[in-house]
Amino acid sequence: MADRSSLSRLVRMRAKAGKGTMRISWCPDTATRRQGLAQDGFTLIELLIVMSLIAIVYALALPAFGTLTADGRLNSATNALHAELRAARAQALLQGRSVALDPTAGVSDPDIRLSVREWGGSEAAAAQNPIKDRQVRFFPDGSATGAQIVLSLDDSQRVVDLDWLTGKVSVGAR
């Protein structure tokens, strides 16, 4: 950018050449400044509208996060139990001896309720016998004592089935 002395020389040269008068301004026109300021920010009304929309969306979405975390806790406990049962079956096959497992030992969340019943048994029979006496056993040939383990938290339930013939462990929702 040229300094003041060179600009003033240019103006004098043009004035001597008869080109007319020139108006030089060192700051932008006030109309241009006002127009720039109008585009630089938001009005208070616009900010209040956006903040109220954010509050409404937050209020509607917050209850959904509670069910997501509860389902996540239940899925985590179900996956941990599934992994323990599969590891016990593998241990029985590899070592050639039967392995007993207490299904309640792997669930560390105190809010999750467990119901263990023998394959084909009823929930009433499972309720009569304490859970601590309910162990599942895997045999060296891969078979197992059949069982159905129901994990529940609030209104959600997950079922872990243990097939007595094959010892296969499967997970499903109820």
Q: What is the mean pLDDT of the chain?
A: 77
Span 1-49, pLDDT tens digits: 555 566 566 556 655 665 555 555 555 555 555 555 556 788 999 999 9
Cβ neighbours, 10 Å, residue 88: 21
Q: Give the chain's domains with CATH numbers.
A: 69-173 (3.55.40.10)
Residue 163 in contact with residue 116, Cβ under 8 Å? no
Structure tokens of 51?
């903040």
Q: pLDDT band for position 50 (50/70/90)?
A: very high
Q: What pTM does this model have?
A: 0.58
Question: What does residue 10 show for φ and ψ, rounded to 5 degrees?
Answer: -65, -40
Give the separation between CA 104 and CA 101, rounded to whole angstroms: 9
